[in-house]
Amino acid sequence: MIGRLIARDFRRGLAGAAWLPVAFFLLVATLVPFAVGPDARLLERIAPGALWIAALTAALLPIERLIEPDRADGVLDQLALHGVAEESVAFAKIVAHWLTFAPLLLIAAIPASVLLAMDGTALLRAQVALAVGTLGLAALAVAVAAVTAGLPRAGALAGLLLLPLAVPVLIFAVADALLLEAAVSLLLTAGAPFVAGAAIRAART
């Protein structure tokens, strides 16, 4: 069932608006040269940080469709009746979300790197950091989506919850501390299913 759930969410993620966060990511990256001017040295220096701010804002977009539609349509209830623990559901959703979100973002990082005057090595470093960090971001997104599912103005609330929690990932990612970033990312991935599972159960009426 878990495998089927991952495959289903992956398919729905790609069929849905998977390109939307990516377009948003590129748009934010495009704004940076306009905002700070075309000085290549300056752009190169701030590029990793700019990429990450673009990635964080892009990570907010899909939150509302991660949990809420399945809650409202009774899919989460039926999964429980089929003996799937809420934590397992959340884990499957994290995996599926990461698989739809991260690869597209890594591809979009290539045109973004051109806009930000990054060279090849800087791009590669940024991509590794993004690949590692997006796992933690995906876990956070699912947990926050579960906590806010069914609430009015869930989207805005989700942003307020997610961005502060993503700060450790951001700090280690732009400081090139890959191991620490991976540690935080794994910690988030390990903890998020339990938060999301409890939230899904608590939201049942």
Partner 1 sequence: MTALLRFDGVALRRGGRRLFTGLDLQLDADEGLHVTGPNGSGKSSLLRLAAGLLRAERGRVEAGRVALADEHLALDRELPLGRALSFWGSPIDEAMDALGLAHLARAPVRLLSSGQAKRASLARVVASGAPLWLLDEPLNALDGDGAERLAAIVDRHRRDGGAVVVASHQPLAGAWRRLELGA
Report the amino acid identity of residue 141: A
Q: Is 19 in the site for partner 1 (CB under 8 A)?
A: no
Radius of gyration of the chain (CA): 17
Cα–Cα distance, 25 to 81 (Å, whole number)? 38
Instruction: Build a one-symbol-per-residue string for 70-89: x at contacts with partner 1 by CB under 8 A, - elsewhere.
Output: --xxxx-xx-xxxx------
Rounded distance, CA 121 to CA 124, Å?
5
Nearer to partner 1, 72 or 156 (CB): 72
Tell whether residue 65 is a contact of partner 1 (CB under 8 A): no
Please, which residue, 77 or 176, has the CB nearer to partner 1? 77
Q: Which of 69-77, 97-105, 111-119, 124-132 is the region at the interface with partner 1 (rule: CB under 8 A)?
A: 69-77
Establish if 151 lies at the interface with partner 1 (CB under 8 A): no
Among 4, 34, 37, 152, binds partner 1 (CB under 8 A): 4
Cβ 72 to partner 1 shortest distance, Å: 8
Helices 120-148 & 40-60, crossing angle to 10 degrees? 20
Name which of 72 and 160 has its Cβ closer to partner 1: 72
Assess 3 for contact with partner 1 (CB under 8 A). no
* CA-angle at 29, arms to 25 and 32, nearest 5°: 150
Closest CA to 59 of 116, 133, 5, 148: 133
Our CA angle for 92, 93, 94, nearest 5°, is 90
- List of residues contacting partner 1 (CB under 8 A): 1, 4, 8, 12, 15, 72-75, 77-78, 80-83, 204-205
